Structure 1
């Protein structure tokens, strides 16, 4: 990834670092919570950390969480079938548990169903499959 110049204003840099840290936290939570998307939050974290601190930007790019969730996709613009099935299995399991505990909340069930269908559409038709 092309490195970016960090912002000169110290206050703006701290704002960028704060937003980057929040994005990183939300992305990490998205690993286990199916309603939070991991990759977009990690991409936001990358953007803001790069502008806030070159050191944090480099640390983030080298982190195992980034390497496992974004780096391969960013490099290849595709996921293996095994990775796609793993994502779908974990999302489906977590959604099923959530649906079980939300049986009396139809709006929650509808939202979960839409998110689940969105995952299926994205993995089947949008994200390319790597051989």
Structure 2
């Protein structure tokens, strides 16, 4: 039963990661890393597919080994956060416009403080 729950959570994380490609405030790689975590506990074949993926495999391994994010990944995440914050400030009325700004500041600070590695 627990294995099925991890499998479902892995597919859900993979779907959210896919949405993150299209939506600027929704991160992609953290959801892919979460999917790999879930698949490691439910389906080693699916975990292996993620680890062998040329786009996401290196980021997953870097995270697992060092808890690190590549410099390129940090830049992409911070640029997406900045874009979302500016979009929120322009498109939402006050005080709702502060929500994307707060999310960008909190998430961006956490990402900035993670160790850097080569993916």
Q: TM-score, normalised by structure 2?
A: 0.71
Q: TM-score, normalised by structure 1?
A: 0.66
Matched, 1:27 2:27: no
* Contact preservation (8 Å) 1:78, 1:128: yes
Match of 1:47 in 2: 37
Rate the CA distance shift 1:84–1:52 in 2: closer, same or farther, 3 A: closer
Matched, 1:128 2:115: yes
Extract unaligned runs of 5+ from structure 2: none
Extract unaligned runs of 5+ from structure 1: 1-10
Distance 2:73 2:56 in 1: 15
Matches within 5 A, 1:1-131: 11-67=1-57, 69-102=59-92, 104-107=93-96, 109-124=97-112, 126-130=113-117
Distance 2:41 2:64 in 1: 20
The structure that has the greater radius of gyration is: 1
Aligned residues: 118
